[in-house]
A and B are shown apart, each in its own frame.
Chain A
Amino acid sequence: MISNEIEFHAPATLGEALGLLADDGDDVTVLSGGMSLVPMMNLGIVRPTKVLSLNKVRELAHVTERDGQLVVGALVRHAEVAANPLIRRHCPVLASAAEVIGDIQVRNRGTIGGSVAHADPAADYLPVLAALGGSVTLASSAGERTLTPAEFFVDLMFTSREPEEIVTAVSVPKLAAGWRSAYTRLARVEGSFAIVNAAAVVAGDHSSATVGLGGVGPSPVVVDVTEQLRDGADEAALAAVGAVVREAARDASGDLMSDATYRREMAAVFARRACAAATATQAEVRS
């Protein structure tokens, strides 16, 4: 059993949850799916004394369309992100990332809000949000603010969320007809964390092409590859993508899974693969 005493709260509304944080934010740990937090509590790596569960805040569990965006509530679980018809139709790359997170049981419980708030640099959503130019919405009892990935993901497992704030939604653009996208990851076995991962989002006429990278620094890296893919995605163009990505990944650091040089090389390889997959016809957004 977890060793320290825990005061547990599971309010049914966002308002109540924000009220608790307003009073006590510094001491409260917010729990959603718990796929990272509860194991860390079991291991004693984190020892929260007050836990605020969002699992009964049903208003955060919906996917809606607003102003050309898909607004994915923070409590939407990965399995639902992967299966949701709106997401699959308008932003399939987000579903592609969701369907390879962890394993089946993890996807049944883990949430998109929890994943972005945890901000593990190898998390599957991060390069996708970076490539899409998505956003993260935070709420507190004082109001709401919406941040770009660059504003939100500050450092390794560190975000600009204030203690009294809750991540309430992740928004992604509805990709227009003809836009294509793909997500690729390097992992040793199914279910393990990615060593590097890459998402590519490309306009149908190649007037815009963006790669998002994970695992090559403390927060996701965005690389504009419009120039490299302007005339198509042949071998030379993909090699050019690899070169610019290798340079963009220059701050990659080594760890137990791989050294920095390997990460940079693999970032180049997986960015090329993402671009190749995104420019293949079957990846086209159906809208």
Chain B
Amino acid sequence: MKATINVRVNGEDRQVEIDTRMIVAEMLRERLRLTGVHIGCATGNCGACTVFLDGRTVKSCCVLAADVDGAEITTVEALGSGPDDLHPIQESFVQNQGLQCGFCTPGMILAAKALLEANPDPTEDEIRHGISGNLCRCTGYHFIVQSIQDAARRLNGGGGQTAAS
């Protein structure tokens, strides 16, 4: 069934025509063209569809679009506008090769953002725990963890690590 919802997405109030069969990830991708929201499994396992919903990370494949009327959503698109305007976490992922195929990356970056907001100087264990809801099927976890460690340094004003050669 058709429905209209009001939702604040990346700081902008939007009125969105949805179908009640849509999940939030589909609404964001297909109605708002926010294709940084990736759908990996649609069962809440992989975390590629992670977004902030009212300030907390959720898996947007497990929330019905009709159920976010009045809510506020932040996707990876809110972090940086392009290659010349990257968020420090994105910059760290680039510089540390924190991605291989890149499919899990938007979810990893938002999980990292939530982690670093709550814990600006996490240990390696805390980082691994912080991304435990996100799967990288390239299994590139080592560089993802390094990227988040580097992001913490950047966000804490310590300067970034230059690209490893």
Contact = CB atoms under 8 A, between A and B. Distances in A.
Contacts of B132: 103-104, 190-191
B21 A38 contact: no
Nearest to A103: B133
A42 B21 contact: no
A56 B5 CA distance: 14
Residue from A38, A43, A191 having most chain B Cβ neighbours under 10 A: A38
Contacts of B63: 34, 38, 109
A35 interface: yes
B106 to A, nearest CB: 13
A5 B59 contact: no
Nearest to B63: A34
Interface string B47-68: 1001001001111011110110
Q: How large is the interface on B (under 10, 10 to 19, 20 to 34, 35 or more residues)?
A: 20 to 34
Contacts of A35: 44, 62
Nearest to A3: B21
A104 B42 CA distance: 17
B20 A8 contact: yes
Chain B interface mostly: mixed
A79 B56 CA distance: 10
A2 B43 CA distance: 12
Contacts, number: 100
Contact of A108 (B1, B56, B70): B56
A53 B67 contact: yes
A7 B1 CA distance: 7
A105 interface: yes
B114 interface: yes
A225 B70 CA distance: 50
A150 interface: no
A33 B3 CA distance: 21
A102 interface: yes
Interface string A61-90: 000000000000000000100000000000
Contacts of A108: 53, 56-58
19 contacts: A1-B26, A2-B21, A2-B23, A8-B1, A8-B64, A10-B66, A10-B67, A10-B69, A38-B64, A39-B43, A39-B44, A102-B133, A104-B111, A105-B50, A106-B44, A108-B57, A109-B63, A190-B132, A191-B133
Interface of A: 1-8, 10, 31, 34-35, 38-39, 42-43, 51, 53, 55-56, 79, 102-106, 108-109, 190-191
Given A5-B21, A35-B62, A103-B132, 5 more contacts: A35-B44, A103-B47, A105-B111, A109-B53, A109-B62
Interface of B: 1, 3, 19-23, 26, 42-44, 47, 50, 53, 56-59, 61-64, 66-67, 69-70, 111, 114, 129-130, 132-133
Listed from nearest, the 4 A-B pairs whose CB atoms lie closest are: A103-B133, A2-B21, A39-B43, A108-B56
